[in-house]
Amino acid sequence: MNALQNRWKAQREKAAFLALEDGTVLQGYSVGARKDGLGEVVFNTGMSGYQEILSDPSYGGQFVTMTYTQIGNTGINDEDMESARLYLSGFIVHEMHGPSNWRSRVALEEALVRNGVPAIAGIDTRSLTCRLREKGSLKGYIAVEGQVDSKEAVARARKWEGLVGQDYASRVSCTSPYQWDPDSRLTCTWGVCERVPAADLRVVAFDYGIKWNILRSLSLKGMRVTVVPARTTAREVLEMKPDGVFLSNGPADPAAVTYAVEAARELIGKVPIMGICLGHQLLGLAVGGRTYKLKFGHHGCNHPVQNLLTGGVEITSQNHNFAVAPDSLDTGLVELTHLSLNDGTIEGLRHRREPMFCVQYHPEAGPGPHDPFYLFQQFRDMITSA
């Protein structure tokens, strides 16, 4: 039996399928943990950076479909993780490959198994992506254990509560405060290390699913960062006497994270604030706006955003399912600063009277382009001039 026949035999022995709430069933084979799972199926258009995508806590509750066909070639290394483990509910790819990269420490399939993440390969991800674009994000069920038939899997997908109205931020947040790398003078990304300047500003960062490259980016701007759990109150933060407060990215429905909205509302005007992704949505709610669920979200590394203050265009990394409704905002209180050039959704806001701004995308670029990295300097400048 040749190598190709051996691979086909192994795939048949690990037969699996993906069932969607609309009744679609896609056959494939298991390349992750041998357990079934439920999640919201989304697609990510990134051609690289799957390790950072997998370790982004904002994907809690979701099945990530990679639109790029060949995944796994670079394996998993220690430097490019964005959190301590993988938080997504499932992974969907067309082809899974073994590692062929000098930085790899473990194969992707092994990392998925270690983290208990079910994954399926052999899927026509182009067809699946077209379906998601047409119908919107769909609830799904990955069946790998062989105990559930397709009819039951579809029924379970339909019955699952989904992400609307769900607080996933508290599920992925740290459980106690900690200081980010207080003694390290080097920070490394993509195998490149930069010397961290001496910190002269103290920042408190809310962890709603914060990524490590955000903390690296703040450190590179001379900020000593204390990370606090999602449910930390505004009073507790102010007692720490920070120079600034950062509201992080995170998963699921911002309207369900009511405690964070309350904390943000109480902090506005008392301390300079920067928010990204979920933090942006929470600040939008805190100033009286409302949020809504996008049809299929923004997930990828190549989303064009226009900076309305400069007229320039930034290529950005994004990962969110919800957005701030423009007609819900008091334009006398907040100013629209950034817009998506794909669908016109709000990508940035700033307060007209208080030191506060936020963006919907990920300026830390893990993975993604570095176009928006200036926002961390903007945060520093806002703090020092407050």
Write out the two tokens for 374: 């200036």
- Give the residue, 244 or 191, on which the prediction is more confident: 244
Q: Which of 128, 159, 190 is the last residue of a domain?
A: 159
In a domain, 53, yes or no: yes
- H-only helix segments in the chain: 3-13, 50-54, 108-114, 125-135, 150-159, 169-172, 212-220, 234-239, 258-267, 278-286, 374-385
Q: What confidence score (pLDDT) does residue 371 get?
A: 93
**Selection from 19, 287, 264, 318 nearest residue 141 by Cα:** 19
- Whether 57 is covered by a domain: the verdict is yes
User: Does 164 map to a domain?
Assistant: no
Residues 6+ apart with CB under 8 A from 133: 43, 296
Q: Cβ–Cβ contacts within 10 Å for residue 368, how many?
A: 25
Q: Report if residue 117 sits inside a domain.
A: yes
CATH code of the domain covering residue 346: 3.40.50.880
Q: Which two tokens stand for residue 346?
A: 């709000």
Task: Output the six-digit token pair for 354.
Answer: 């208080």
Residue of higher predicted confidence among 183 and 110: 110
pLDDT for res 291 = 98
Q: How far apart are CA 235 and CA 220, in angstroms?
A: 28
Looking at per-residue confidence, does 343 or 192 come out higher? 343
Band of pLDDT at residue 205, cut at 50, 70 and 90: very high
Q: What is the pLDDT of residues 206-227, one digit of tens each?
A: 999 999 999 999 999 999 999 9
Number of domains in the chain: 2
Q: How many CA atoms lie within 13 A of 221 on its CB side?
A: 23
**Same domain, yes or no: 201 and 249:** yes
Q: How confident is the model at residue 189 (pLDDT cuts 50, 70, 90)?
A: low
Mean pLDDT on 100-105: 95
Radius of gyration of the chain (CA): 21
Distance CA(46)–CA(90), nearest Å, equals: 17
341 and 268 both lie in a single domain: yes
One domain, residues 360 and 267: yes
Is 288 inside any structural domain?
yes
Instruction: Give φ, ψ of 179 to 5 degrees.
Output: -100, 135
- DSSP-derived letter for residue 326 is G
Report if residue 193 sits inside a domain: yes
Closest CA to 359 of 341, 342, 343, 375: 375
Q: What is the pLDDT of residue 195?
A: 78
Separation CA 287–CA 265 (nearest Å): 7
Instruction: Tell me: do 138 and 176 sit in the same domain.
Output: no
Are residues 133 and 265 both part of a single domain? no
User: Of 285, 331, 327, 290, nearest to 308 (Cα)?
Assistant: 331
Q: What is the mean pLDDT of residues 245-257?
A: 97
- Give residue 181's pLDDT: 78
Answer with the one of 159, 186, 218 that is the final residue of a domain.
159
Range of the domain at 122: 3-159
pTM recorded for the entire structure: 0.94
pLDDT in tens, 282-332: 999 999 999 999 999 999 999 999 999 999 999 999 999 999 999 999 999
Pair (155, 178) in one structural domain = no
Q: Any idea which residues carry the catalytic annotation? A: 277, 362, 364
CA–CA separation, 184 vs 200, rounded Å? 15
- Position 58: which residue type? S
Shared domain for 190 and 305, answered yes or no, is yes
- Please indicate, yes or no, whether residues 226 and 133 belong to a single structural domain of this protein: no
Three-class secondary structure of residue 194 per DSSP: strand
Residues 235 and 320 in one domain: yes
What share of the chain has pLDDT > 90, as a percent?
A: 89
Q: Which residues contact 339 (CB under 8 A, 6 or more apart)?
A: 305, 306, 308, 345, 346, 347, 348
Structure confidence at residue 376 as a pLDDT band (50, 70, 90) = very high
What are the beta bridge partners of residue 299?
319
244 has a pLDDT exceeding 70: yes
Looking at the fold, whether 52 and 83 belong to one and the same domain comes out as: yes
d(Cα 12, Cα 219) in Å, to the nearest integer? 49
What pLDDT is recorded for position 20? 98
CA distance 60 to 229: 16
Pairing of strands 273-276, 356-359: parallel
Same domain, 42 and 179: no
Neighbours of 3 (CB within 10 A): 7
Please work out, in degrees rounded to the nearest 5, the angle formed at the alpha carbon of residue 100 by the alpha carbons of 98 and 105: 80
What is the band of 7 on the pLDDT scale with cuts at 50, 70, 90?
Answer: low
Cβ proximity of 90 and 119 under 8 Å: yes
pLDDT tens-digit series, residues 103-120? 999 999 999 999 999 999
Between CA 176 and CA 180, with CA 380 as vertex, the angle to 5 degrees is 25
Angle (CA) 213-79-115 rounded to 5° is 95
- How many CB atoms are located within 10 Å of the residue 148 CB? 17
Among 159, 190, 210, the domain boundary falls at 159
Residues 197, 310: one domain? yes
Q: What is the dihedral of CA 360, 292, 169, 278, to 10 degrees?
A: 10
Q: Is residue 361 domain-resident?
A: yes
β-pairing, 37-44 vs 90-92, is unpaired
What percentage of the chain exceeds 70 in pLDDT? Answer: 94
The answer to whether residue 72 scores a pLDDT higher than 60 is yes
In a domain, residue 74? The reply is yes
User: At residue 386, does pLDDT exceed 60?
Assistant: yes
The answer on pLDDT for 2 being more than 70 is no
What CATH number corresponds to the domain at position 43? 3.50.30.20
Indicate the pLDDT class of residue 182, thresholds 50, 70 and 90.
low
Q: What is the per-residue pLDDT for 99?
A: 95
Q: Is the pLDDT score of 183 beyond 70?
A: no
The number of residues in the chain equals 386
Q: 283, exposed or middle or buried, with CB in 10 Å at 0-12, 13-18, 19+?
A: buried
Comparing 22-31, 176-185, 346-355, the range with the smallest average pLDDT is: 176-185
